[in-house]
Structure 1
Amino acid sequence: MTSTGFKLLYRPRGSRELLSAEMPLLRSLSLYDLDPARDVPNYHGQSHRGGWYASSKVGGHLRHESGLERLRMQFLDFDPRVTTFMAQPFTLQWSEGEKVYRYTPDLLIVRAGQARVVEDVKPAQFHGSPRLQRAFKAAREALGPIGVGFNLWAPPEPTVVRNVQYLAGYRRVPAGLREHLGPILAALRERPHGLMELAARVGPAPLVLPVIYHLIWNHRVAADLSRPLSLETTLSPAPLPGEAA
Protein backbone atom coordinates (compact mmCIF):
# COMPACT_ATOMS: atom_id res chain seq x y z
CA MET A 1 0.00 0.00 0.00
CA THR A 2 1.30 3.47 -0.90
CA SER A 3 2.22 5.87 1.90
CA THR A 4 0.81 9.38 1.55
CA GLY A 5 0.43 12.68 3.38
CA PHE A 6 3.86 12.81 5.01
CA LYS A 7 4.09 15.31 7.87
CA LEU A 8 6.98 16.42 10.04
CA LEU A 9 6.12 16.60 13.74
CA TYR A 10 8.70 18.43 15.88
CA ARG A 11 8.95 19.97 19.34
CA PRO A 12 10.46 23.46 19.72
CA ARG A 13 12.73 23.83 22.72
CA GLY A 14 10.75 24.40 25.88
CA SER A 15 7.43 23.43 24.29
CA ARG A 16 5.15 20.63 25.45
CA GLU A 17 3.39 20.38 22.08
CA LEU A 18 4.39 18.85 18.77
CA LEU A 19 4.13 21.20 15.81
CA SER A 20 3.25 19.95 12.33
CA ALA A 21 5.05 21.07 9.17
CA GLU A 22 5.78 20.01 5.62
CA MET A 23 8.80 17.76 5.14
CA PRO A 24 11.15 20.33 3.47
CA LEU A 25 11.45 22.14 6.82
CA LEU A 26 13.71 19.30 7.97
CA ARG A 27 16.52 20.62 5.76
CA SER A 28 16.78 23.88 7.73
CA LEU A 29 15.58 23.18 11.28
CA SER A 30 18.21 24.18 13.83
CA LEU A 31 18.88 21.22 16.08
CA TYR A 32 19.79 23.59 18.90
CA ASP A 33 16.21 24.91 18.88
CA LEU A 34 14.57 21.49 19.28
CA ASP A 35 13.62 19.20 22.14
CA PRO A 36 13.25 15.44 21.52
CA ALA A 37 10.00 14.61 19.75
CA ARG A 38 9.25 11.79 22.17
CA ASP A 39 10.29 10.69 25.63
CA VAL A 40 12.48 7.61 25.89
CA PRO A 41 10.65 5.02 28.03
CA ASN A 42 12.27 3.93 31.28
CA TYR A 43 10.56 1.24 33.33
CA HIS A 44 11.39 -1.74 35.49
CA GLY A 45 11.98 -4.92 33.53
CA GLN A 46 12.55 -3.39 30.10
CA SER A 47 14.83 -5.44 27.87
CA HIS A 48 17.17 -2.63 26.79
CA ARG A 49 19.29 -0.28 28.88
CA GLY A 50 18.70 3.44 28.47
CA GLY A 51 20.55 6.38 29.93
CA TRP A 52 22.28 9.66 29.16
CA TYR A 53 25.33 10.27 26.98
CA ALA A 54 27.47 13.36 27.59
CA SER A 55 28.42 14.49 24.09
CA SER A 56 31.49 16.68 23.70
CA LYS A 57 30.35 17.70 20.22
CA VAL A 58 26.76 18.62 21.14
CA GLY A 59 27.86 20.16 24.41
CA GLY A 60 25.18 18.49 26.50
CA HIS A 61 23.51 15.25 27.52
CA LEU A 62 21.52 13.17 25.04
CA ARG A 63 19.09 10.45 26.04
CA HIS A 64 19.78 7.04 24.52
CA GLU A 65 17.47 4.04 24.46
CA SER A 66 20.07 1.27 24.25
CA GLY A 67 23.76 0.54 24.50
CA LEU A 68 23.90 0.44 20.70
CA GLU A 69 22.54 4.00 20.49
CA ARG A 70 25.12 5.14 23.04
CA LEU A 71 27.86 3.53 20.96
CA ARG A 72 26.62 5.31 17.85
CA MET A 73 26.72 8.64 19.70
CA GLN A 74 30.34 7.97 20.65
CA PHE A 75 31.20 7.34 17.00
CA LEU A 76 29.42 10.55 15.96
CA ASP A 77 31.44 12.46 18.55
CA PHE A 78 34.56 10.83 17.07
CA ASP A 79 33.68 11.61 13.44
CA PRO A 80 35.44 14.89 12.47
CA ARG A 81 32.93 15.56 9.68
CA VAL A 82 29.96 15.67 12.06
CA THR A 83 29.12 19.14 13.34
CA THR A 84 26.15 18.17 15.53
CA PHE A 85 23.48 15.51 15.97
CA MET A 86 20.27 14.96 17.90
CA ALA A 87 18.40 12.00 19.36
CA GLN A 88 14.64 11.51 18.82
CA PRO A 89 14.73 14.58 16.52
CA PHE A 90 11.24 14.45 14.98
CA THR A 91 8.29 12.18 14.31
CA LEU A 92 7.26 11.23 10.79
CA GLN A 93 3.51 10.90 10.31
CA TRP A 94 1.87 9.37 7.24
CA SER A 95 -1.24 7.54 6.05
CA GLU A 96 -1.77 4.19 4.40
CA GLY A 97 -5.40 3.93 3.36
CA GLU A 98 -7.42 5.04 6.37
CA LYS A 99 -4.73 4.25 8.93
CA VAL A 100 -2.32 6.87 10.31
CA TYR A 101 1.18 5.80 11.35
CA ARG A 102 3.98 7.50 13.25
CA TYR A 103 7.70 6.77 13.39
CA THR A 104 10.37 8.59 15.42
CA PRO A 105 13.89 7.88 14.12
CA ASP A 106 16.80 7.60 16.52
CA LEU A 107 19.12 10.31 15.19
CA LEU A 108 19.42 13.30 12.89
CA ILE A 109 23.02 14.01 11.84
CA VAL A 110 24.49 17.21 10.40
CA ARG A 111 27.83 17.07 8.57
CA ALA A 112 29.65 20.10 7.21
CA GLY A 113 28.88 20.64 3.53
CA GLN A 114 26.77 17.49 3.22
CA ALA A 115 23.10 16.61 3.17
CA ARG A 116 21.54 15.77 6.52
CA VAL A 117 21.12 12.11 7.39
CA VAL A 118 18.41 10.44 9.48
CA GLU A 119 19.51 7.21 11.15
CA ASP A 120 17.89 4.26 12.83
CA VAL A 121 20.07 2.38 15.31
CA LYS A 122 18.64 -1.03 16.13
CA PRO A 123 20.12 -4.54 16.15
CA ALA A 124 20.01 -6.10 12.68
CA GLN A 125 17.81 -8.98 13.84
CA PHE A 126 14.92 -6.55 14.34
CA HIS A 127 15.14 -4.88 10.91
CA GLY A 128 12.91 -7.46 9.27
CA SER A 129 9.89 -6.90 11.51
CA PRO A 130 6.81 -5.71 9.59
CA ARG A 131 6.49 -2.62 11.81
CA LEU A 132 10.06 -1.48 11.16
CA GLN A 133 9.93 -2.40 7.48
CA ARG A 134 6.87 -0.17 7.10
CA ALA A 135 8.60 2.67 8.98
CA PHE A 136 11.85 2.40 7.01
CA LYS A 137 10.02 2.34 3.69
CA ALA A 138 7.97 5.40 4.63
CA ALA A 139 11.09 7.24 5.84
CA ARG A 140 12.89 6.68 2.55
CA GLU A 141 9.83 7.79 0.57
CA ALA A 142 9.45 10.95 2.68
CA LEU A 143 13.12 11.93 2.97
CA GLY A 144 14.45 11.11 -0.50
CA PRO A 145 12.53 13.84 -2.37
CA ILE A 146 13.78 16.55 0.04
CA GLY A 147 17.42 15.49 -0.21
CA VAL A 148 17.77 14.03 3.29
CA GLY A 149 19.45 10.65 3.60
CA PHE A 150 18.22 7.65 5.57
CA ASN A 151 20.59 5.06 7.02
CA LEU A 152 20.50 1.93 9.15
CA TRP A 153 23.67 1.99 11.25
CA ALA A 154 25.68 -1.09 12.13
CA PRO A 155 28.83 -0.92 14.27
CA PRO A 156 32.24 -1.59 12.69
CA GLU A 157 34.42 -4.54 13.62
CA PRO A 158 35.03 -5.13 17.36
CA THR A 159 38.62 -3.87 17.52
CA VAL A 160 37.62 -0.46 16.18
CA VAL A 161 34.68 -0.37 18.61
CA ARG A 162 36.92 -1.12 21.60
CA ASN A 163 39.46 1.49 20.55
CA VAL A 164 36.88 4.24 20.07
CA GLN A 165 35.18 3.37 23.36
CA TYR A 166 38.54 3.66 25.14
CA LEU A 167 39.45 6.95 23.45
CA ALA A 168 36.01 8.36 24.29
CA GLY A 169 37.19 8.50 27.89
CA TYR A 170 39.65 11.19 26.78
CA ARG A 171 37.28 13.34 24.71
CA ARG A 172 37.35 16.12 27.32
CA VAL A 173 40.29 18.54 27.30
CA PRO A 174 42.92 17.10 29.67
CA ALA A 175 45.23 18.98 31.98
CA GLY A 176 48.54 19.67 30.29
CA LEU A 177 47.18 19.98 26.75
CA ARG A 178 48.61 23.46 26.21
CA GLU A 179 51.96 22.47 27.70
CA HIS A 180 52.47 19.21 25.80
CA LEU A 181 50.69 19.82 22.46
CA GLY A 182 53.61 21.55 20.73
CA PRO A 183 56.31 19.06 21.78
CA ILE A 184 54.10 16.08 20.83
CA LEU A 185 53.43 17.39 17.32
CA ALA A 186 57.05 18.49 16.86
CA ALA A 187 58.32 15.03 17.74
CA LEU A 188 55.89 13.36 15.34
CA ARG A 189 56.89 15.70 12.51
CA GLU A 190 60.45 14.38 12.92
CA ARG A 191 59.36 10.71 12.62
CA PRO A 192 56.66 8.28 13.78
CA HIS A 193 56.86 7.21 17.42
CA GLY A 194 55.47 4.40 19.53
CA LEU A 195 52.85 5.69 21.95
CA MET A 196 54.87 5.09 25.12
CA GLU A 197 58.09 6.21 23.44
CA LEU A 198 56.46 9.52 22.56
CA ALA A 199 55.01 10.02 26.04
CA ALA A 200 58.39 9.36 27.69
CA ARG A 201 60.18 11.72 25.31
CA VAL A 202 57.80 14.65 25.89
CA GLY A 203 57.51 14.51 29.67
CA PRO A 204 56.29 12.41 32.59
CA ALA A 205 54.41 9.63 30.82
CA PRO A 206 51.41 9.55 33.22
CA LEU A 207 50.77 13.23 32.44
CA VAL A 208 51.44 13.05 28.71
CA LEU A 209 49.47 9.88 27.86
CA PRO A 210 46.01 11.48 28.44
CA VAL A 211 47.04 14.32 26.12
CA ILE A 212 48.10 11.88 23.39
CA TYR A 213 44.84 9.93 23.68
CA HIS A 214 42.90 13.21 23.47
CA LEU A 215 44.82 14.17 20.31
CA ILE A 216 44.06 10.78 18.72
CA TRP A 217 40.39 11.28 19.58
CA ASN A 218 40.47 14.72 17.95
CA HIS A 219 42.34 13.46 14.87
CA ARG A 220 45.42 15.60 15.54
CA VAL A 221 47.49 12.42 15.89
CA ALA A 222 47.00 9.39 13.62
CA ALA A 223 46.93 5.76 14.76
CA ASP A 224 45.76 2.55 13.09
CA LEU A 225 42.56 1.84 15.01
CA SER A 226 41.93 -1.38 13.11
CA ARG A 227 44.56 -2.90 15.41
CA PRO A 228 44.33 -3.03 19.24
CA LEU A 229 45.53 0.22 20.77
CA SER A 230 48.55 -0.34 23.02
CA LEU A 231 51.62 1.43 24.36
CA GLU A 232 53.49 0.13 21.28
CA THR A 233 50.99 1.58 18.77
CA THR A 234 52.78 3.62 16.11
CA LEU A 235 51.70 7.27 15.97
CA SER A 236 52.20 9.81 13.21
CA PRO A 237 51.00 13.35 12.55
CA ALA A 238 47.45 13.44 11.20
CA PRO A 239 46.96 15.29 7.91
CA LEU A 240 45.52 18.76 8.19
CA PRO A 241 42.06 19.40 6.64
CA GLY A 242 42.39 19.33 2.87
CA GLU A 243 45.68 17.40 2.88
CA ALA A 244 45.97 13.89 1.51
CA ALA A 245 46.22 11.19 4.14
Structure 2
Amino acid sequence: MKAADLQLRSVQVRFLHPDGQEERLPLDVAAEVAFENCGAIRRIPHRADQAHTPSTHWSSTTNRMIECESHLESVWMTMLDFDPEVSGFSGQPMQLLGVDDRGAWKATPDLFVRRVDGSATVMEVKNPGRLNDAKVKATAARVAACCAAAGWGYELVGEPPGRQRTINVLALAGYRREMVGVSDYRAQLLSLAGEPVPLGQLVSFTAEPLVARAVVLHLCWTGELAVDLKPEYFETRSRTEEWTMGGQTVQMRFWNRPLHAMTEAFTAAGFRISVISEPPFVPEAREVFPEELREFEPTRTRFLCFLFFVLEAS
Protein backbone atom coordinates (compact mmCIF):
# COMPACT_ATOMS: atom_id res chain seq x y z
CA MET A 1 0.00 0.00 0.00
CA LYS A 2 1.32 3.43 -0.95
CA ALA A 3 0.21 6.80 0.39
CA ALA A 4 -0.56 7.98 -3.14
CA ASP A 5 -2.98 5.06 -3.63
CA LEU A 6 -5.12 5.95 -0.61
CA GLN A 7 -8.26 8.03 -0.78
CA LEU A 8 -8.83 9.65 2.59
CA ARG A 9 -12.50 10.21 3.29
CA SER A 10 -12.20 11.77 6.73
CA VAL A 11 -9.52 12.13 9.38
CA GLN A 12 -9.95 13.42 12.91
CA VAL A 13 -7.00 14.34 15.12
CA ARG A 14 -7.28 13.77 18.85
CA PHE A 15 -4.72 15.55 21.06
CA LEU A 16 -4.06 17.22 24.41
CA HIS A 17 -3.38 20.92 24.70
CA PRO A 18 -0.35 21.88 26.86
CA ASP A 19 -2.78 22.60 29.73
CA GLY A 20 -4.08 19.02 29.54
CA GLN A 21 -7.41 19.78 27.84
CA GLU A 22 -8.37 17.20 25.22
CA GLU A 23 -9.70 18.22 21.81
CA ARG A 24 -10.58 16.56 18.54
CA LEU A 25 -10.33 18.47 15.25
CA PRO A 26 -10.55 17.71 11.53
CA LEU A 27 -7.15 17.16 9.96
CA ASP A 28 -7.18 20.39 7.93
CA VAL A 29 -7.87 22.44 11.07
CA ALA A 30 -5.45 20.46 13.26
CA ALA A 31 -2.67 21.20 10.79
CA GLU A 32 -2.34 24.62 12.44
CA VAL A 33 -1.83 23.20 15.97
CA ALA A 34 1.63 23.47 17.52
CA PHE A 35 1.88 19.77 18.37
CA GLU A 36 5.52 20.20 19.42
CA ASN A 37 4.17 21.76 22.64
CA CYS A 38 1.60 19.05 23.38
CA GLY A 39 1.91 16.14 25.79
CA ALA A 40 1.47 12.47 24.96
CA ILE A 41 -2.10 11.60 23.96
CA ARG A 42 -1.92 8.17 25.58
CA ARG A 43 -0.36 6.57 28.60
CA ILE A 44 2.62 4.49 27.48
CA PRO A 45 2.26 0.99 29.01
CA HIS A 46 4.89 -0.41 31.38
CA ARG A 47 5.07 -4.16 31.95
CA ALA A 48 7.66 -6.33 33.62
CA ASP A 49 7.96 -8.65 30.61
CA GLN A 50 7.90 -6.14 27.75
CA ALA A 51 10.71 -6.09 25.22
CA HIS A 52 11.08 -2.34 24.80
CA THR A 53 12.12 0.16 27.48
CA PRO A 54 9.76 3.12 27.94
CA SER A 55 11.19 6.12 29.77
CA THR A 56 11.22 9.89 29.86
CA HIS A 57 13.71 12.06 28.01
CA TRP A 58 14.83 15.51 29.13
CA SER A 59 14.99 17.66 26.02
CA SER A 60 17.62 20.38 25.93
CA THR A 61 15.67 21.93 23.03
CA THR A 62 12.34 22.30 24.84
CA ASN A 63 13.62 22.14 28.45
CA ARG A 64 10.97 19.63 29.47
CA MET A 65 10.52 15.91 30.02
CA ILE A 66 9.09 13.98 27.06
CA GLU A 67 7.76 10.43 27.27
CA CYS A 68 9.21 7.85 24.91
CA GLU A 69 8.12 4.27 24.32
CA SER A 70 11.49 2.68 23.58
CA HIS A 71 15.23 3.16 23.86
CA LEU A 72 15.36 3.74 20.11
CA GLU A 73 12.87 6.60 20.46
CA SER A 74 15.05 8.17 23.16
CA VAL A 75 18.07 7.89 20.83
CA TRP A 76 16.14 9.75 18.12
CA MET A 77 15.10 12.39 20.64
CA THR A 78 18.76 12.93 21.52
CA MET A 79 19.63 13.28 17.83
CA LEU A 80 16.82 15.83 17.42
CA ASP A 81 18.11 17.78 20.43
CA PHE A 82 21.52 17.92 18.75
CA ASP A 83 20.09 19.13 15.43
CA PRO A 84 20.33 22.97 15.22
CA GLU A 85 17.53 22.98 12.64
CA VAL A 86 15.03 21.58 15.17
CA SER A 87 13.14 24.12 17.29
CA GLY A 88 10.92 21.68 19.17
CA PHE A 89 9.45 18.17 19.24
CA SER A 90 7.06 16.00 21.21
CA GLY A 91 6.36 12.32 21.76
CA GLN A 92 3.08 10.75 20.60
CA PRO A 93 1.16 14.06 20.77
CA MET A 94 -1.73 13.01 18.52
CA GLN A 95 -3.98 10.14 17.57
CA LEU A 96 -5.22 9.97 13.99
CA LEU A 97 -8.68 8.48 13.47
CA GLY A 98 -9.33 7.98 9.79
CA VAL A 99 -11.59 6.46 7.21
CA ASP A 100 -10.34 5.70 3.71
CA ASP A 101 -11.27 3.45 0.82
CA ARG A 102 -9.91 0.46 2.77
CA GLY A 103 -11.88 1.06 5.96
CA ALA A 104 -11.60 2.74 9.38
CA TRP A 105 -8.31 2.90 11.24
CA LYS A 106 -6.40 4.77 13.94
CA ALA A 107 -2.71 5.45 14.53
CA THR A 108 -0.54 7.25 17.08
CA PRO A 109 2.68 8.54 15.45
CA ASP A 110 5.80 8.47 17.63
CA LEU A 111 7.30 11.95 17.12
CA PHE A 112 6.22 15.36 15.90
CA VAL A 113 9.16 17.58 14.94
CA ARG A 114 9.11 21.34 14.29
CA ARG A 115 12.02 22.94 12.47
CA VAL A 116 13.31 26.49 12.70
CA ASP A 117 11.92 27.30 9.25
CA GLY A 118 8.41 26.47 10.50
CA SER A 119 8.09 23.17 8.66
CA ALA A 120 7.02 20.02 10.49
CA THR A 121 7.76 16.30 10.21
CA VAL A 122 5.98 13.31 11.71
CA MET A 123 8.29 10.39 12.52
CA GLU A 124 7.48 6.75 13.13
CA VAL A 125 10.32 4.95 14.95
CA LYS A 126 10.37 1.19 14.50
CA ASN A 127 12.73 -1.66 15.23
CA PRO A 128 14.84 -2.00 12.04
CA GLY A 129 13.76 -5.62 11.79
CA ARG A 130 10.10 -4.56 11.48
CA LEU A 131 10.43 -1.85 8.83
CA ASN A 132 9.25 -4.22 6.10
CA ASP A 133 6.36 -5.75 8.06
CA ALA A 134 3.11 -5.52 6.14
CA LYS A 135 1.22 -4.02 9.10
CA VAL A 136 3.92 -1.40 9.69
CA LYS A 137 3.99 -0.43 6.01
CA ALA A 138 0.19 -0.22 5.83
CA THR A 139 0.02 2.10 8.85
CA ALA A 140 2.93 4.14 7.49
CA ALA A 141 1.11 4.65 4.18
CA ARG A 142 -1.99 5.94 5.97
CA VAL A 143 -0.06 8.27 8.26
CA ALA A 144 2.02 9.52 5.31
CA ALA A 145 -1.17 10.34 3.40
CA CYS A 146 -2.45 12.34 6.38
CA CYS A 147 0.85 14.19 6.65
CA ALA A 148 0.78 15.08 2.96
CA ALA A 149 -2.73 16.45 3.35
CA ALA A 150 -1.69 18.50 6.41
CA GLY A 151 1.48 19.85 4.80
CA TRP A 152 3.83 17.89 7.07
CA GLY A 153 6.75 15.70 6.13
CA TYR A 154 6.76 12.02 7.08
CA GLU A 155 9.58 9.61 7.92
CA LEU A 156 9.49 5.93 8.84
CA VAL A 157 12.85 5.29 10.50
CA GLY A 158 14.84 2.57 12.21
CA GLU A 159 18.23 3.41 13.68
CA PRO A 160 19.74 6.85 12.95
CA PRO A 161 22.15 6.83 9.99
CA GLY A 162 25.86 6.92 10.76
CA ARG A 163 26.47 4.59 13.69
CA GLN A 164 29.67 6.24 14.88
CA ARG A 165 28.17 9.73 14.70
CA THR A 166 25.22 8.51 16.76
CA ILE A 167 27.55 7.02 19.37
CA ASN A 168 29.48 10.29 19.59
CA VAL A 169 26.33 12.41 19.86
CA LEU A 170 25.02 10.18 22.66
CA ALA A 171 28.34 10.65 24.46
CA LEU A 172 28.14 14.44 24.07
CA ALA A 173 24.57 14.37 25.41
CA GLY A 174 26.01 13.72 28.85
CA TYR A 175 27.29 17.31 28.73
CA ARG A 176 24.20 19.01 27.32
CA ARG A 177 23.38 20.81 30.57
CA GLU A 178 25.43 23.96 30.99
CA MET A 179 27.80 24.01 33.95
CA VAL A 180 27.67 26.76 36.58
CA GLY A 181 30.68 28.93 37.42
CA VAL A 182 32.74 28.20 34.31
CA SER A 183 32.30 31.44 32.35
CA ASP A 184 36.05 32.11 32.45
CA TYR A 185 36.78 28.68 31.00
CA ARG A 186 34.15 29.19 28.32
CA ALA A 187 35.63 32.46 27.07
CA GLN A 188 39.18 31.14 27.24
CA LEU A 189 38.42 27.91 25.39
CA LEU A 190 36.47 29.65 22.64
CA SER A 191 39.42 31.99 22.16
CA LEU A 192 41.97 29.18 22.09
CA ALA A 193 39.89 27.23 19.58
CA GLY A 194 40.00 30.01 16.99
CA GLU A 195 42.05 27.63 14.85
CA PRO A 196 41.58 23.83 14.64
CA VAL A 197 43.18 22.15 17.65
CA PRO A 198 43.07 18.63 19.14
CA LEU A 199 40.87 18.29 22.22
CA GLY A 200 43.70 17.15 24.45
CA GLN A 201 45.87 20.07 23.46
CA LEU A 202 43.02 22.55 23.89
CA VAL A 203 42.23 21.57 27.48
CA SER A 204 45.92 21.30 28.38
CA PHE A 205 46.20 25.09 28.13
CA THR A 206 43.88 25.54 31.13
CA ALA A 207 44.48 25.36 34.87
CA GLU A 208 42.01 22.48 35.39
CA PRO A 209 41.96 20.23 32.30
CA LEU A 210 39.19 17.98 33.66
CA VAL A 211 36.86 20.95 34.15
CA ALA A 212 37.89 22.37 30.78
CA ARG A 213 37.15 19.04 29.09
CA ALA A 214 33.57 19.10 30.37
CA VAL A 215 33.15 22.69 29.19
CA VAL A 216 34.58 21.83 25.75
CA LEU A 217 32.20 18.90 25.36
CA HIS A 218 29.25 21.11 26.32
CA LEU A 219 30.36 23.68 23.72
CA CYS A 220 30.56 20.87 21.16
CA TRP A 221 27.00 19.89 22.07
CA THR A 222 25.69 23.44 21.63
CA GLY A 223 27.59 23.85 18.35
CA GLU A 224 29.70 26.75 19.61
CA LEU A 225 32.71 24.53 18.95
CA ALA A 226 32.71 22.58 15.69
CA VAL A 227 33.80 18.96 15.87
CA ASP A 228 33.85 16.13 13.35
CA LEU A 229 31.72 13.37 14.88
CA LYS A 230 32.04 10.89 12.02
CA PRO A 231 35.56 9.43 12.48
CA GLU A 232 35.83 6.21 14.42
CA TYR A 233 38.58 5.71 16.98
CA PHE A 234 39.73 2.47 15.37
CA GLU A 235 40.17 4.04 11.92
CA THR A 236 43.59 5.11 10.69
CA ARG A 237 43.40 8.48 8.98
CA SER A 238 45.62 11.45 8.16
CA ARG A 239 45.22 15.20 8.24
CA THR A 240 47.37 18.09 6.97
CA GLU A 241 47.87 21.39 8.77
CA GLU A 242 49.68 24.54 7.68
CA TRP A 243 52.36 25.63 10.16
CA THR A 244 54.58 28.73 10.09
CA MET A 245 58.02 28.11 11.58
CA GLY A 246 61.11 30.30 11.31
CA GLY A 247 59.36 32.58 8.87
CA GLN A 248 58.49 29.73 6.53
CA THR A 249 55.10 28.12 5.96
CA VAL A 250 55.12 24.35 5.67
CA GLN A 251 52.54 21.59 5.34
CA MET A 252 52.58 19.25 8.35
CA ARG A 253 50.97 15.85 7.91
CA PHE A 254 49.65 13.98 10.95
CA TRP A 255 48.40 10.42 11.24
CA ASN A 256 45.69 9.40 13.69
CA ARG A 257 45.98 5.77 14.71
CA PRO A 258 44.42 3.83 17.58
CA LEU A 259 46.85 2.75 20.28
CA HIS A 260 46.69 -0.92 19.32
CA ALA A 261 47.72 -0.10 15.72
CA MET A 262 50.90 1.58 16.97
CA THR A 263 51.85 -1.15 19.42
CA GLU A 264 51.17 -3.88 16.85
CA ALA A 265 53.32 -2.06 14.28
CA PHE A 266 56.23 -1.84 16.73
CA THR A 267 56.07 -5.51 17.69
CA ALA A 268 55.64 -6.60 14.05
CA ALA A 269 58.85 -4.69 13.24
CA GLY A 270 60.72 -6.66 15.91
CA PHE A 271 60.69 -4.12 18.75
CA ARG A 272 59.76 -4.58 22.36
CA ILE A 273 58.06 -1.67 24.15
CA SER A 274 59.85 -0.95 27.40
CA VAL A 275 58.24 2.40 28.33
CA ILE A 276 55.13 4.36 27.37
CA SER A 277 55.38 7.83 28.87
CA GLU A 278 54.20 11.44 28.77
CA PRO A 279 57.49 13.28 29.38
CA PRO A 280 57.53 16.93 30.49
CA PHE A 281 58.75 19.74 28.29
CA VAL A 282 62.10 21.25 29.25
CA PRO A 283 62.07 24.39 31.49
CA GLU A 284 63.59 26.47 28.67
CA ALA A 285 60.43 25.90 26.62
CA ARG A 286 58.63 28.61 28.61
CA GLU A 287 61.11 31.18 27.30
CA VAL A 288 60.98 29.90 23.71
CA PHE A 289 57.17 29.53 23.59
CA PRO A 290 55.84 32.06 26.13
CA GLU A 291 52.47 32.56 24.41
CA GLU A 292 51.74 28.88 23.91
CA LEU A 293 52.59 27.98 27.52
CA ARG A 294 51.31 31.07 29.31
CA GLU A 295 48.24 29.25 30.66
CA PHE A 296 50.27 26.47 32.26
CA GLU A 297 50.79 26.64 36.01
CA PRO A 298 54.46 26.49 37.05
CA THR A 299 53.99 22.98 38.40
CA ARG A 300 52.39 21.71 35.20
CA THR A 301 54.89 20.64 32.58
CA ARG A 302 53.09 17.90 30.65
CA PHE A 303 50.73 17.85 27.69
CA LEU A 304 47.73 15.54 27.58
CA CYS A 305 47.99 14.71 23.89
CA PHE A 306 51.48 13.19 23.45
CA LEU A 307 52.57 9.62 24.11
CA PHE A 308 56.23 8.59 23.80
CA PHE A 309 57.36 5.00 23.27
CA VAL A 310 60.76 3.66 24.24
CA LEU A 311 61.55 0.67 22.03
CA GLU A 312 64.14 -2.03 22.34
CA ALA A 313 65.21 -4.38 19.58
CA SER A 314 64.12 -7.95 20.28
Normalising by structure 2, we get a TM-score of 0.68
- The 5-angstrom pairing of residues 1-245 of structure 1 reads 2-15=7-20, 17=22, 19-31=23-35, 34-96=38-100, 99-153=103-157, 154-189=159-194, 191-228=195-232
Of 100-109 and 1-10, the range deviating more from structure 2: 1-10
| C-alpha distance in structure 1 between counterparts of 2:230 and 2:37, whole Å | 37
| C-alpha distance in structure 1 between counterparts of 2:179 and 2:37, whole Å | 30
- Larger Rg, first or second structure (1 or 2): 2
CA deviation map 1:196-217 (0-9, x unaligned): 1111113310110000000000
| C-alpha distance in structure 1 between counterparts of 2:36 and 2:160, whole Å | 27
Equivalent residues, number: 229
Give structure 2 stretches of 5+ with no counterpart.
1-5, 240-314
| C-alpha distance in structure 1 between counterparts of 2:7 and 2:31, whole Å | 24
Q: 1:145 to 1:223 in 2, by over 3 A?
A: same
Of 76-85 and 34-43, the range deviating more from structure 2: 34-43
| C-alpha distance in structure 1 between counterparts of 2:156 and 2:182, whole Å | 37
Letter in 2 for 1:57: T
Post-superposition shift, 1:131? Answer: 2.4
Letter in 2 for 1:106: D
| C-alpha distance in structure 2 between counterparts of 1:34 and 1:125, whole Å | 30
Q: Check whether the contact 1:37–1:88 (CA below 8 A) recurs between aligned residues.
A: yes
Post-superposition shift, 1:14? Answer: 4.2
| C-alpha distance in structure 1 between counterparts of 2:223 and 2:29, whole Å | 33
Post-superposition shift, 1:128? Answer: 2.4
Post-superposition shift, 1:74? Answer: 0.4
SS at structure 2 position matched to 1:92: strand
| C-alpha distance in structure 1 between counterparts of 2:32 and 2:111, whole Å | 16
Normalising by structure 1, we get a TM-score of 0.86
| More RCO (CA 8 Å, sep 6+) | 1
Equivalent residue number for residue 237 of structure 1: none
SS at structure 1 position matched to 2:175: coil
Q: 1:176 to 1:143 in 2, by over 3 A?
A: same
Q: 1:2 to 1:30 in 2, by over 3 A?
A: closer
Q: Check whether the contact 1:163–1:228 (CA below 8 A) recurs between aligned residues.
A: no
SS at structure 1 position matched to 2:113: strand
Letter in 2 for 1:217: W
Post-superposition shift, 1:32? Answer: 6.4
| C-alpha distance in structure 2 between counterparts of 1:214 and 1:26, whole Å | 37
CA deviation map 1:159-189 (0-9, x unaligned): 1111011100000001343111211111122
Letter in 1 for 2:111: L
Of 145-154 and 214-223, the range deviating more from structure 2: 145-154
Post-superposition shift, 1:98? Answer: 8.0
| C-alpha distance in structure 1 between counterparts of 2:183 and 2:36, whole Å | 30
| C-alpha distance in structure 2 between counterparts of 1:22 and 1:198, whole Å | 55
Q: 1:24 to 1:147 in 2, by over 3 A?
A: same
| C-alpha distance in structure 1 between counterparts of 2:151 and 2:65, whole Å | 28
Q: Which runs of 4+ in 1 moved over 4 A?
A: none
SS at structure 2 position matched to 1:35: coil
Equivalent residue number for residue 243 of structure 1: none
SS at structure 2 position matched to 1:54: strand
